[in-house]
Amino acid sequence: MALEASGLTVGYGDTLILRDIHFRVEAGSFSCLLGPNGAGKSTLLRALVGTHPSQGMRKLDGAPMTELGPRKRAQLLGYLPQEIQPAFPLTVAESVELGARVAAKPVSIESSLRSVDAEDLLHRHLNELSGGERRRVLLAGVLAQQPRYLLLDEPAAMLDLGHQAELFDHLRKLSKRGLGILCVTHDVNLAAQFADQLHFLTPSAKILSGTPTELLTDAPLRETFGHRFEILPRENHVPVIVPR
Amino acid sequence: MNFSASQPRRCPLFLVLGLATAIALSFALAFGSVSIELLPAISDWWNLSEDQWSTGTHVLSLRLPRATLTWFAGGALAVSGTVLQSVLRNGLATPFTLGIASAGSFGAFLWLAFPALGVTWFGMPLFTPRTGALLFAILGLALVLSISRRSRHPDGLLLAGVTLSFLFGAAMMLVRHLADPFRLSSMDHWIMGSLEVVSFKAALAPLPWILIGGSLIVKNIFAMDQLALDEEMAEARGVAVGTVKKQLLLGAGLLTAAVVAQTGPIGFVGLLIPHALRPFTGNAHRRLLPAAWLLGGAFLLFADLAARTVQLSGRHSELPVGILTALIGGPLFLRLLFRKS
């Protein structure tokens, strides 16, 4: 049971961004995708979801995604883009309901909001919320789809430290309940602390995959980010990375 | 799905809108340059043959087609504006933003200025200013749709629509410049919008187009909600964004073309009504669109009643309804704008 991509090639017009990418997100695992700005992380997510054209094979639980109907695909695969600009000031309830409409089974808006600690925002408008509150509400909308796999593009952006930790802890718990989660983030330490698996997308569009302990070493970090970092070991914990 | 806890009750709004429609319709039939007693007139109209009708019943038989067209026109323009605001993701979009109304008006101007263009069949005109307007409105719609095929960017389509409006506007001025001076008053009358009809045949002429356009809109009513949140998320949630947008543009365009061909351009209904309703209906189009039809219809019925009864400089002459909708709609829209800000 996995979300798989093999031989995935993606470009914008004549410019090739990603070539022959092989990628796998296991059901019940929490993975983070990291890489420098402009490496193509968001493009890879879009290609996996199917909102950006790509060549190659994408499979959901063994079934080619092109053979799944659009509604079925949305019930299996939830996606939260980096930026969302609603055309009109939607209420929180309205935005979460849009996700619930896609779900195969009935789901209440309140429980979806509760899962991201945002039930008190129910009757507010999206445009009144802070950046962090907005991200949590939008995530609740994607969770209301009740997908088996979640692709999140920087869900922790604009969240304070406490809510970042809460969100990643929540994502880890969701993965323990069987969800396969792939999350783009720039915070290496946050990702290493909570994720089962890290993927580094290098500037040469190569993917390095491994556990946090395997990847938080000098060579992969330097190949991906082009800098040397200090790797501070911790007993029984993943190391902490600080810039030199 | 259980959304009951989070949804405020909406039923009273539709009750209010239904009542407003009934009152507007009754007033539109009962009042005008001559006031009639409505219930006896309706009873006679329904039960008696035409030669037995009272004066009131004759007046009613003239007002009924007009009220029908007015209700269709107000409803269709309000729905068209609501759809275009959602598809173009722009609160300033109106049924006339895409240039369809200007194209239609250009068609009407051509036939008004040069009646020789009218092809006849056994002495009956095949082309009238109204068919000319419909022909060119649909041509304008086809142009807009072909532009939308090339550009997926909503602002691209909006700018193309504004450009088409200017182009057809300039073409209209050229036709006006070339026309015989004695034809100018009929052209001016057209451009100010009018709901004058004397037969049900003319009043119901927009109906087939409204039904086709309306069914395209209803088919995509849930997808429209997803589009309003975010196009990329909508696509990830299974909405065929490109196809849905084209069908919605076609639907809203047909509604506009049908109305403009029959009444000329009547402004502000399509801009004002969606903005006035959103605070009460929310953004779900399954509530917003029926409410827009009801309020748009009632608004235009009241505006037309005012246009028929208002006395300017002591003269009891009918005011073009397009002028009145702009005079009422403009300040109302500004009030909404300031209240929101």
Separation between Cα atoms, residue B68 and residue B76, nearest integer Å: 12
Chain A, window 176-235: residues with a beta carbon less than 8 angstroms from a chain B beta carbon: none
Write the CATH number for A148: 3.40.50.300
**Looking at CA atoms only, how far is residue A53 from chain B in angstroms?**
12
Contacts of A145 in chain B (CB under 8 A): 237
Q: Do A81 and B232 touch (CB under 8 A)?
A: yes
Subunit contact B222:A101, Cβ cutoff 8 A:
yes
Dist CA B68 CA B73 (whole Å): 9
What is the spatial distance between Cα B193 and Cα B14, in angstroms, rounded to a whole number?
Answer: 29
- The CATH number assigned to the domain holding B274 equals 1.10.3470.10
**Is B229's CB within 8 Å of A84's CB?**
yes
Q: What is the Cα–Cα distance from B47 to A83, expressed in whole angstroms?
A: 64
Gyration radius of chain B's alpha carbons: 21
Which residue segment(s) compose the domain that A71 sits in?
2-243
Q: How far is B5 from chain A (nearest CA, A)?
A: 8
Assigned token pair, B309: 């009864």
Cβ of residue A80 closer than 8 Å to a chain B Cβ: yes
Which 3 state secondary structure label does DSSP give A170? helix
Q: B89 and A70 in contact by Cβ < 8 A?
A: no
Q: Which amino acid makes up residue B287?
A: R
**Interchain pair A88, B226: CB under 8 A:** no
- Sign (positive or negative) of CA dihedral B23, B217, B330, B228: positive
- Contacts A123 to B, Cβ<8 Å: 6
Least CA distance to A113: which residue of chain B? B6
Q: B160 pLDDT exceeds 90? A: no
Q: Which of A185, A173, A197, A190 is nearest to A45 (CA)?
A: A185
List of chain B residues whose C-beta atoms are within 8 Å of the C-beta of residue A85:
230
Distance from CA of A217 to the nearest CA of B (A): 36
User: A73 in contact with B at a CB cutoff of 8 Å?
Assistant: yes
- In Å, what is the CA distance from B238 to each residue of A79, A94, B234? 11, 18, 7
Q: How big is the CA angle at A66 (ends A61 and A72), to the nearest 5 degrees?
A: 60
Note whether B90 contacts A87, CB cutoff 8 Å. yes
Angle CA(A61)–CA(A64)–CA(A68) in degrees, nearest 5?
Answer: 90
Query: Chain A: residue nearest B238 by CA?
Result: A70
pLDDT at B9: 52
The count of other CB atoms within 10 Å of the CB of residue B326 is: 19
**B2 found inside a domain:** no
Spell out which chain B residues touch chain A, with contact meaning CB-CB distance below 8 angstroms.
Answer: 1-3, 5-7, 85-86, 89-91, 222, 225-230, 232-233, 235-240, 278, 282-284
Task: Say if CB A96 and CB A115 are below 8 A apart.
Answer: no
Predicted confidence (pLDDT) per residue in B175-193, tens digit: 999 988 888 888 888 888 8
| In the predicted structure, residue B338 carries a pLDDT above the cut 60 | yes
Q: Does residue B4 fall inside a structural domain?
A: no
Residue A114 in tokens? 């509760």
Residues of B in contact with A88 (CB under 8 A): 85-86, 91, 228, 278, 283
CB contact under 8 A, A84 and B226: no
pTM of the model: 0.88
Give the containing element (helix H, strand E) for A21: strand A15-26
Which residue is closest to B90 within chain A, CA to CA?
A87
Q: Which of A94, A142, A150 to mutate to test the interface with B (most CBs of B within 10 A)?
A: A94
Contact B232 A51 (CB under 8 A): yes
CA-based nearest residue to B213, from B176, B261, B173, B282: B261
Give how far Cα A143 sits from Cα of A95, A152, B14, B68, Å.
Answer: 12, 11, 33, 47
Task: Mark yes or no for CB contact A94/B284 under 8 Å.
Answer: yes
A48 CB within 8 Å of a chain B CB? no
pLDDT digits (tens, 9 = 90+) for B113-147: 887 766 666 666 666 788 888 889 889 888 888 88
Measured CA to CA, the distance from residue A182 to residue A152 in angstroms comes to 6
CA–CA gap between residue B155 and residue B170 (Å, rounded): 22
Which of A70, A93, A95 comes nearest B240 by C-beta?
A: A70
DSSP calls for A193-244: HH-SEEEEE-TTS-EEEE-HHHHSSHHHHHHHHSS-EEEEEETTEEEEEEE-
Element holding A102 (H helix, E strand): none
Quick check: is B22 in a domain? Answer: yes
Give CA A80 to chain center in angstroms.
7
Residue B97 falls inside a structural domain: yes
* DSSP 8-state assignment for residue A35: -
Sorted by sequence, the CB contacts under 8 Å of residue B64 that are 6+ apart come out as B29, B45, B200
DSSP single-letter state for residue A125: B
From chain A, pick out residues whose CB is under 8 angstroms from the CB of B233: 79-81, 84
Rounded distance, CA B333 to CA B273, Å?
Answer: 9
- Give the distance from residue A125's alpha carbon to the nearest chain B alpha carbon, in angstroms: 11
Q: Spell out the per-residue pLDDT of chain A, length 244, in tens.
A: 899 999 999 988 888 888 898 989 999 999 999 999 988 999 999 999 999 999 999 999 989 998 988 889 999 999 999 888 888 889 999 999 999 999 988 889 999 999 888 889 998 999 888 888 888 899 999 999 999 999 999 988 878 888 888 889 989 998 999 999 999 999 999 999 999 999 999 999 899 999 999 999 999 999 999 888 888 888 878 888 888 8
Write the pLDDT tens digit of every residue in B79-100.
Answer: 999 999 999 888 888 888 888 8
Give me the domain span that covers residue B310: 9-340
Q: Are A99 and B86 within 8 A, CB to CB?
A: no
Specify the higher pLDDT residue, B215 or B194: B215
* pLDDT recorded at residue B340: 59
Q: What pLDDT sits at residue B5? A: 39
* pLDDT band with cut points at 50, 70 and 90 for residue B4: very low
Report the residue of chain B nearest A83, measured CA to CA. Answer: B230
What torsion do the CA atoms of B17, B19, B24, B26 make, to the nearest 10 degrees?
160
CB pairs under 8 A between A and B: 89
Distance from CA of A22 to the nearest CA of B (A): 21
CA–CA separation, A54 and A56 (whole Å): 7
Task: Report d(CA A188, CA A197) in Å as an integer.
Answer: 12
Q: What is the 3-state secondary structure (H, E, C) of chain B?
A: CCCHHHCCCCHHHHHHHHHHHHHHHHHHHHCCCCCCCHHHHHHHHHHCCHHHCCHHHHHHHHHHHHHHHHHHHHHHHHHHHHHHHHHCCCCCCCCCCCCHHHHHHHHHHHHHHCHHHCCEECCEECCCHHHHHHHHHHHHHHHHHHHHHHCCCHHHHHHHHHHHHHHHHHHHHHHHHHCCHHHHHHHHHHHCCCCCCCCHHHHCCCHHHHHHHHHHHHHCHHHHHHHHHCHHHHHHCCCCHHHHHHHHHHHHHHHHHHHHHHHCCCCCHHHHHHHHHHHHHCCCHHHHHHHHHHHHHHHHHHHHHHHHHCCECCECCCCCHHHHHHHHHHHHHHHHHHHHC
- Domain count for chain B, please give it: 1
Number of structural domains (chain A) is 1
Distances in Å between the alpha carbon of B80 and those of A163, B160, B260, B292, B293?
A: 43, 18, 12, 9, 9
- The most confident of the ranges A153-167, B48-62, B141-155, B243-257 is B243-257
Residue of B nearest to A75 (CA): B237
- Contact A101/B3, CB-based, under 8 Å? no
* Set of chain A residues whose Cβ sits within 8 Å of the Cβ of B236: 49-51, 74, 77-79, 81
d(CA B333, CA A75): 41
**Is the Cβ of A49 closer than 8 Å to some Cβ of chain B?**
yes
B225 closest CB neighbour out of A46, A74, A98? A98
Q: Is A38 left (phi over 0), alpha (psi -120 to 50) or beta?
A: left
Q: Any idea how long chain A is?
A: 244
| pLDDT reported for residue B314 | 60
Q: Count of CB atoms within 10 A of residue A196's CB?
A: 16
Nearest CA in chain B to A76: B237
